[in-house]
Structure 1
């Protein structure tokens, strides 16, 4: 999974029709849009050249990822993370995704989409 493009990884977690995709937006616009559609939780995010997780807590966004800048796993304020900058953000629900959680509990395999 980790060697796939961000969009493919997101589609492993949630149907493409349910993904939230934002492009060419400022951080403030992205934050506003994310807070409008998602509650507190953990979300997968695919970027131009990186992937990670966004933790939304009390309307703040944190980026959890393996940093290519600091060469370690980090959780940092998404707004100031140098690795969070992107022209596209593809979000898939994780902690709020009932179907994904059910699949995990039932030990069901996730299949890599072909398209």
Structure 2
């Protein structure tokens, strides 16, 4: 058989291999694996989730147990808001307000989550601040700690000693959330590194956390003024 007769077969086989490669990439690329935006975590369901959080806040506002409000605040964000954002694309100028649609920058991710949880904040102004200024604007100094030139292991150990709850963390050029569950600390952020989307990862192995020479944390779930503001519905 001449080369001209083999060429169409080789060409078609090449297209098939390329097609299979693209399918595999889509199947295993993290944003698609992490998110369920098109079937489960839709924008419509997100709105209903936020409405349910609002109803819960109204109930808590009638109680005087600060422990209950603290637990509910962390649960609302960690269990009911974060999952909708996983897999949402990151971009440096991303400002989307709808999880799974468009893209979002790290600062906007933090402020959008807090606003959607029920805090009355200036989402855009805070998101554009350096992370330290943003943290200082959100909570009192007594709940803020700073770490310079500490190893990641030392840093995480301090988080564990400080206690369970929700933290905002500021790095050299990045910001996000830390969740201390007691059995582990997790870093939730709009990652500007692979896979370039909102992810939840173990803090002890988070490359972005490791590379930063300066780290500042604010334990927002312990700030009574924040919790008091959150319960105002």
TM-score range, shorter chain: 0.7 to 0.9
Structure with greater strand share of residues: 1
Structure with greater helix share of residues: 2
* Larger radius of gyration between Structure 1 and Structure 2: 2
Moved more, 69-78 or 98-107: 98-107
1:14 to 127, 130, 139: 139
User: What TM-score does the superposition give when structure 2 sets the normalisation length?
Assistant: 0.43
- Give the conservation status (yes or no) of the 8 Å contact 1:13–1:93: no
- Count residues in correspondence: 106
Runs of 4+ displaced beyond 3 Å: none
| Secondary structure of the corresponding residue to residue 36 of structure 1 | helix
**Alpha-carbon distance in structure 1 between the residues aligned to 2:183 and 2:151:** 16
2:176 to 45, 52, 55: 52
Task: Report 1 or 2 for greater relative contact order, CA contacts < 8 Å, sequence distance ≥ 6.
Answer: 1
State the Cα deviation string for residues 21-62 of structure 1 (Å, max 9, x = none). Answer: 11100111112222222x211100000000000001125211
User: What TM-score does the superposition give when structure 1 sets the normalisation length?
Assistant: 0.83
- CA-based RMSD: 1.5
| Secondary structure of the corresponding residue to residue 33 of structure 1 | helix
Moved more, 3-12 or 93-102: 93-102
Could you tell me which runs of 5 or more consecutive residues in structure 2 were left unpaired when the two chains were aligned: 1-125
